[in-house]
Amino acid sequence: SGFTIDGFAQGSKKAMADADDRQLALKEYLEQTMQEHDTADIIAALNAAIPEGATIGEMIVHASPELTMLYGRIPPRLQSGIHNHTVFACIGQLDGEETSIVYEKSPDGTGLREVMTVTAKAGEVTSLPVDAIHRIENPGTEMASALHCYGGDFGAVMGQRSLWSCDDFEEMPFSFEALLKESVKIMKNSDNDVGLKAIVKAIPAAGPLVDAL
């Protein structure tokens, strides 16, 4: 049978419910799903599940207490702000590449330090623990697509999430608006004109931020 959002969500929940390690179970189920289904079929199902004109923060295709599924369409050369999730994440890369730069809080608690960089290529699945702090980049010049799966309800944890300033690593409350601003700031600091143009095309609301910062 073909890939469906509901079918994947039900299968994921069953795999996690029967497992001692929910994160590993979700990662393995996502890997199995990507091996068994054609990538084009998965992308078609995800595209059909999002409203036309949806921006990056509106691409949630399933949300429940156990699982959130987000269709990650990452514009060319995008660099995101530094953020956390407060729930574990498993990312199935459908096409293109996605790089995750992972941080940890410094020993004195006053900032962050970079600890590793992981790049997922098409067909690969990566995962991040509950307490992960990271930012993402699309190193390529084409849109990258991925199925981001989280072990909880994003809506329920939104008030618990944090964002960190790229200038001084100061922690602040998370919002998609603040994440967009930090993303623009990082790309400005990097002289990343390709990424800035791509994010304005994907999210027109970023235009005034690019002009103002």
Q: Are 136 and 99 in contact, with CB atoms under 8 Å apart?
A: yes
pLDDT given at position 138: 96
Rounded Cα–Cα distance for residues 213 and 210 (Å): 6
**pLDDT exceeds cutoff 90 at 64:** yes
Task: Name the least confident of 21-25, 46-50, 130-134.
Answer: 46-50
pLDDT given at position 154: 84
| Residue 58: pLDDT band with limits 50, 70, 90 | low
Q: Which two tokens stand for residue 15?
A: 């795999």
pLDDT digits (tens, 9 = 90+) for 164-205: 999 899 999 998 889 999 999 999 999 999 999 999 888 887
pLDDT given at position 109: 77
Q: Which of 156, 171, 155 has its CA nearest to residue 109?
A: 171
Amino acid occupying residue 68: T
pTM: 0.90
End-to-end CA distance of the chain: 49
pLDDT digits (tens, 9 = 90+) for 97-141: 999 999 999 888 778 999 999 999 999 999 999 999 999 999 999
| Residue 57: pLDDT band with limits 50, 70, 90 | low
pLDDT digits (tens, 9 = 90+) for 71-84: 998 999 999 999 99
Rounded Cα–Cα distance for residues 33 and 12 (Å): 10
Rounded Cα–Cα distance for residues 72 and 126 (Å): 14
pLDDT given at position 211: 82
